[in-house]
């Protein structure tokens, strides 16, 4: 028996199963609504960005909201603190440089 027919059968089987493996390997996309019920400080979002750690940042008229995949942390202007935001209206998508544990 020649090697060519065996190779041809193997090649045809491989070509048929390859698309199936890519379909089975895909994960279903999950979308979640993030609103004030979930902890967003204000309903209107003007800026959205993602940092290198994967946190999502949302700029609103009520401060800067960080979403870590589970909960929001809201950063607002605190006049007594020189390191706080200058104001609560966040319209740009600049990523602040906070320590990793904040």
Quote the pTM value: 0.63
Digitized pLDDT (tens) for each residue of the chain, 102 residues in all = 555 566 566 666 656 655 655 555 567 777 778 889 999 999 999 989 888 899 999 999 999 999 999 999 999 999 999 888 889 998 876 655 555 555
Residues β-bridged to residue 85? none
**How many CB atoms are closer than 10 A to CB 49?**
13
* SS3 assignment for 42-68: CCCEEEEEECCCCCEEEEECCEEEEEC
């Amino acid at each position: 028996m020649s090697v060519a027919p065996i190779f041809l059968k193997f090649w045809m089987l491989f070509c048929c199963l390859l698309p199936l493996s890519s379909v089975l390997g895909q994960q279903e996309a999950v979308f979640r609504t993030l609103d004030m019920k979930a902890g967003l400080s204000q309903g209107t979002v003007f800026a959205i960005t993602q940092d290198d750690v994967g946190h999502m940042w949302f700029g609103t008229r009520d401060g800067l909201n960080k979403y870590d995949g589970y909960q929001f942390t809201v950063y607002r202007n605190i006049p007594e603190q020189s390191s706080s935001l200058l104001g609560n209206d966040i319209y740009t998508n600049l990523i602040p440089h906070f320590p990793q544990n904040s």
